[in-house]
Amino acid sequence: MRIGELSKRTGVSPRSLRYYEDQGLLTSSRSDAGQRHYSDAAVQRVSLIRQLLEAGLSSRVIATVLPCVDDPGDLDVAEETFRAMMRERDRIDAEIAHLIETRDALDVLVRANSRHRAELSTAREPVAQEV
């Protein structure tokens, strides 16, 4: 199938499909005119790539993981994939820790602002109207 059909079947833009190919995540053959042609298996491959991207993996990490899908019986590939997944998990854990610190700092500011607003509201005295 050509890139337009793969795009329609997967809901992924032709531009993204070309990017996946440039990153080594997806392969195609070329016609004599240079048009890309994809196998029917490309639909499932694009679906997997999308799932991995939505899970927060970068295209670089996905490129490391996909060989395990392509050759599940290769122990070296499985080991490298495991290491890549653990590095990614460690990165996510570090991001979570940073987000928690950021949220805690924001909570301090929210509490300070709440106290300040309460002080301002009690400090207001009704203004007497002149007759």
The pLDDT tens digits of the residues spanning 15-72 come to: 999 999 999 999 999 999 989 999 999 999 999 999 999 988 899 999 988 988 888 8
Tokens coding 37: 């042609």
Sign of dihedral through CA atoms 16, 19, 23, 28?
Answer: positive
Helices (H), 23-73: 41-54, 59-70
Model pTM score: 0.70
Q: How many Cβ atoms are within 10 Å of 20's Cβ, its own excluded?
A: 23
